[in-house]
Amino acid sequence: MQHGLNDPDAGAAGQNASEASRAFLVALLVLTFLMNTVGRGITETFAVFLLPVERGLGATRAEMAAAYSLFAMAYGFSAPFTGQLIDRLGARVTYGFGLAVLGIGYFMAGFATSVWHYYLCVGLLGGLGSAALGMVIASSLLSRWFTTRIGSIMSLPYAAVGAGMLLLPPLTQLLLDRYGWRSTHHLLGAGVLLFIPLIMVLPLGRITQGSPEWQVKRQQAAQLPKGIWRVSTAVRTSAFWGLASAYFWTSVAAYSVLPHSVAYLVEQGFDPLVAASAFGFTGALSVVGIITIGWLSDRIGRKQAVSLSYVLSMLGTSSLILVAVFPSLLLVYGFVLFFGLMQGARGPIILAFITVLFPGGGVGAIFGTMSLAMGVGAGLGSFTSGWLHELTGAYYASFLIGVMGSLLGLASFWLVPSLRHERHGAASRE
């Protein structure tokens, strides 16, 4: 070490190594951001496809809502599988699998002639493919390389959901206007498949291995009597179930509103492109909100930051409800601003809790298992919202579910003692 400090050549080599390391970490963040953008951006085009596919297949609103519910359920139930996939087979296999399944699913959706075909392609394959590209994979990889400011780090790839919503739904609307819903599905599916060669040439084996420090800590933890945290041990803690409850209710709140927002605004008399753009801008703002809440969670505390996010989400949903009474662009802007800023903002905080409370090599599998709650909540929220629209002819009751979900999600962080005090709540692991 002393020699390295005094030798100019050694000093230059050390600086070059440090710069290479920083470049490697930036590349990792870019990769996880890009895969999240593709995985969630493609699937969130459902809100734009809803009305034309409904007309094209002769489906009801409840049947179309069920397609998104199936996607959400498939995403949630696939998450434990993809968590095991990244932990056992690495990033190349997992990302390649996700791109192939998602691309094929959306390409084949353009050939659908009945609702069940659409369920299979967009719902089942879309959910499985998106899960293999999403935050379960990103959290597993990033936790192997970053140990500090974890809230801020996890917020960066999470913000890709918003980037995908900003870019892909408005683009999809333009393609729909020009080519129709079938050809647009073909184009989106083919676009996803074009990413596979990129994944094949990247150094994903090295990325999967983790940092030398992480490898050492993993080996040390494995030699301890209690071992490292795994799904089997995490599920015996109150912290796991408290976070799962928060994830469930947050998903109910988001997906009782989000998939129906474009159709709702069109039904209120707004131009379809305006409605799709509003949907896209909620995604754009979520990039800012997710990163900001992640940054705040590292500074003012995770519970305080998450509380602010829930309050703003409720303001946004309330603005959207009022559009039916006062069809004003000002209220649409209120929805876009408040709901959009906080869309996805709880995800990095939940991930930060998991990383802090359950350290070791099982972050991907633990988060993947917890994502079951997200999938069930999203599916229930979307389907119930569509069903209530069929029942009442309006979205008042549907969107009130969103407000209730936010309240219950907020309560999970403050009423569960293990989350309030940020400990795992299992005497055997204390």
Q: Percent of the chain scored above 90 by pLDDT?
A: 17
Distance CA 100, CA 79 (A): 17
Distance CA 356, CA 31 (A): 23
Domain spans, the chain: 17-199+221-423
Question: Residue 405: pLDDT band by 50, 70, 90 thresholds?
Answer: very high
Question: Residue 150: pLDDT band by 50, 70, 90 thresholds?
Answer: low
What length does the chain have?
430
Residue 23 CA, distance from chain mean position: 25
Distance CA 322, CA 146 (A): 43
Q: Which ranges constitute the DSSP H helices of 144-299?
A: 150-158, 160-179, 181-193, 196-201, 204-209, 212-223, 231-234, 238-255, 261-267, 272-297
Question: Residue 185: pLDDT band by 50, 70, 90 thresholds?
Answer: very high
pLDDT of residue 2: 36
- Say if residue 51's pLDDT is above 50: yes
* Burial track 317-348 (b if 16+ CB lie within 10 A, e otherwise): bbbbbbbeeeeeeebbebbbbbbbbbbbbbbb
pLDDT of residue 224: 55
- Closest by Cα among 159, 171, 382, 180 to 264: 382
Q: What is the pLDDT of residues 349-401, one digit of tens each?
A: 887 788 778 766 567 678 778 877 887 888 788 888 888 888 888 888 888 99
CB neighbours (10 Å) of residue 385? 29
Residue that wins the pLDDT comparison between 18 and 288 = 288
Question: Residue 117: pLDDT band by 50, 70, 90 thresholds?
Answer: very high
Q: Which CATH superfamily is domain 17-199+221-423 in?
A: MFS general substrate transporter like domains (1.20.1250.20)
Highest mean pLDDT among 70-84, 92-106, 332-346: 92-106
Residue that wins the pLDDT comparison between 33 and 157 = 33
Question: Residue 110: pLDDT band by 50, 70, 90 thresholds?
Answer: very high
Question: Residue 409: pLDDT band by 50, 70, 90 thresholds?
Answer: very high
- Say if residue 74's pLDDT is above 70: yes
HSE (side-chain half, CA atoms, 13 Å) at 164: 27
Mean predicted lDDT score pLDDT of the chain: 80
Residue that wins the pLDDT comparison between 216 and 131 = 131
Q: What is the pLDDT of residues 327-355, one digit of tens each?
A: 888 888 888 888 888 877 787 788 778 87
Give the residue-averaged pLDDT of 117-124. 92
pTM greater than 0.75 (yes/no): no
- Say if residue 427's pLDDT is above 60: no
Burial of 391 (0-12, 13-18, 19+ CB in 10 A): exposed
pLDDT of residue 121: 93
pLDDT of residue 358: 79
HSE (side-chain half, CA atoms, 13 Å) at 390: 14
Six-digit token string for 59: 């489906």
pLDDT of residue 99: 95
- Closest by Cα among 409, 135, 164 to 279: 164
- Say if residue 243's pLDDT is above 50: yes
pLDDT of residue 192: 94
